[in-house]
Amino acid sequence: MYAQMVKSEASQEDPEKLAAFQARIDAGEKIEPKDWMPVGYRKTLIRQIGQHAHSEIVGTLPEGNWVTRAPTLERKAILLAKVQDEAGHGLYLYCAAETLGVTRDEVTEMLLDGRMKYSSIFNYPSLNWADIGAIGWLVDGAAIMNQVPLQRTSYGPYSRAMIRICKEESFHQRQGYDAIRACAEGTPAQKKMAQDALNRFWYPSLMMFGPPDGDSVHSEQSMAWKIKINTNDELRQKFVDQTVPQAEFLGLTVPDENLKWNEERGHYDFSQPDWSEFFDVIKGNGPCNVDRLADRNKAWDDGAWVREGMLAHARKKAAARVAAE
């Protein structure tokens, strides 16, 4: 998802404490920052929430790419609002991570030097305007699949961040669908553009849910802790079932010749994405990995004088106030 392949940490602590902790989670209680928690729970959450936050921030790059070139002023205002929302989502999540005992700067630096990841999807380029529609429709659509259940996650601050995010996310998906629908219902050239966007974003969107359950080694502990609610394959199937009729409405073709409704299962059968491509992108070899990290590093470095200047100003003002008292 926005957090893919998050390694779950084993905990070697007092079995009694661990059992009591698990009982709280099983009873549906929320764990709050000052409560006792296993080291592994804390570490896994920092990794997962951090990766989720980084995805929100890095995810603004492919979309920001089109803000100045949106086809109308209205589309531009909408896209700008969406990108601003994503930055806000990053903020909520960073704040949730901070309650676990890392600082914002530490988490940021781990992104910038590659120690922490962000979702594989944002390493694909946004080549034409219809891509912006496809991103809202498919990428945000896939994100919602995962984020809605995460509202019930066991960690209080994470759950509250998810509730805020989900409230705003539906706008994102709808604006995307609206944008790609305008293309799909437009001139033949515009429709071709919409189809091209679907062709390129379909499989990377399926990859967002992470590897198939059989290869997903970290799920069990995370699911027991309720920091992962559904398996990767469950969510992927749900996404396909929901999205295929939406594509049909647009008159677009999902690029999968094996896609077929399975009456017996009550689900669509579909082809898996190329998992070797997924692992390659995760390793840093996707089309945009280098650019994305370079852009984030540049923004961080170029903004340093602003951060330092504002802090110096705040300290000077505070000192003047003390002197005046």
Partner 1 sequence: MNNEWPLWEVFIRGQHGMSHRHVGSLHAPDAEMAIKNARDVYTRRNEGVSIWVVEAVNIAASSPSDKGPLYEPSESKVYRHPTFFDIPDEVGAM
Q: With CB under 8 A as the contact rule, which of the stretches 30-38, 41-49, 125-133, 295-303 interacts with partner 1?
A: 30-38
The smaller minimum CB distance to partner 1, of residues 299 and 310, is found at 310
The smaller minimum CB distance to partner 1, of residues 85 and 178, is found at 85
By the 10 Å C-beta count (0-12 exposed, 13-18 middle, 19+ buried), 223 is classed as: middle
The smaller minimum CB distance to partner 1, of residues 26 and 35, is found at 35
The smaller minimum CB distance to partner 1, of residues 99 and 272, is found at 99
* Per-residue b or e along 280-308, where b marks 16 or more CB atoms closer than 10 Å to that residue's CB: ebbeeebebbeebbebbeeeeeeeeeeee
Determine the Cα–Cα distance for residues 105 and 66; give it in Å rounded to an integer: 29
The smaller minimum CB distance to partner 1, of residues 13 and 291, is found at 13
The smaller minimum CB distance to partner 1, of residues 7 and 313, is found at 313
Determine the Cα–Cα distance for residues 62 and 208; give it in Å rounded to an integer: 16
Q: Where are the alpha helices (DSSP H) in the chain?
A: 15-26, 39-58, 60-64, 73-98, 104-112, 129-134, 140-150, 156-184, 188-207, 219-224, 232-250, 275-280, 289-302, 304-324
Q: With CB under 8 A as the contact rule, which of the stretches 27-35, 114-122, 144-152, 224-232 interacts with partner 1?
A: 27-35
Q: Which of 19, 23, 299, 314 binds partner 1 (CB under 8 A)?
A: 314
Rounded to a whole number of angstroms, the minimum distance from the CB of residue 44 to partner 1 is 21
**Looking only at residues 71 through 130 of this chain, which bind partner 1 when binding is defined by CB under 8 A?**
81, 84-85, 88, 91-92, 95, 98, 103-105
Instruction: Check binding of 267 to partner 1 (CB under 8 A).
Output: no
Instruction: Check binding of 318 to partner 1 (CB under 8 A).
Output: yes
The smaller minimum CB distance to partner 1, of residues 152 and 317, is found at 317
Q: With CB under 8 A as the contact rule, which of the stretches 54-62, 121-129, 183-191, 307-315 interacts with partner 1?
A: 307-315
10 Å Cβ neighbour count for 21? 22
- Asked if 205 contacts 121 with a C-beta cutoff of 8 angstroms, the reply is yes
Instruction: Check binding of 301 to partner 1 (CB under 8 A).
Output: no
- Asked if 52 contacts 208 with a C-beta cutoff of 8 angstroms, the reply is no
The smaller minimum CB distance to partner 1, of residues 98 and 131, is found at 98
Q: Which of 23, 101, 307, 319 binds partner 1 (CB under 8 A)?
A: 307
Rounded to a whole number of angstroms, the minimum distance from the CB of residue 34 to partner 1 is 5
Give one DSSP letter per residue of 257-269, joined into a string. Answer: TT-EEETTTTEEE
Determine the Cα–Cα distance for residues 282 and 5; give it in Å rounded to an integer: 10
At 10, which amino acid appears?
A: A
**Looking only at residues 163 through 222 of this chain, which bind partner 1 when binding is defined by CB under 8 A?**
164, 168
Q: Which of 10, 27, 28, 34 binds partner 1 (CB under 8 A)?
A: 34
Instruction: Check binding of 320 to partner 1 (CB under 8 A).
Output: no
Determine the Cα–Cα distance for residues 244 and 198; give it in Å rounded to an integer: 11
Give one DSSP letter per residue of 185-237, joined into a string. Answer: TS-HHHHHHHHHHHHHHHHHHHHTT-S-GGG-TTHHHHHHTTS--S-HHHHHH
Instruction: Check binding of 310 to partner 1 (CB under 8 A).
Output: yes
10 Å Cβ neighbour count for 317? 10
For residues 269 to 288, the per-residue mask of contacts with partner 1, x marking binding by CB under 8 A and - elsewhere, is: --------------------
* Chain positions contacting partner 1, by CB under 8 A: 32, 34-36, 81, 84-85, 88, 91-92, 95, 98, 103-105, 160-161, 164, 168, 307-308, 310-311, 313-314, 317-318
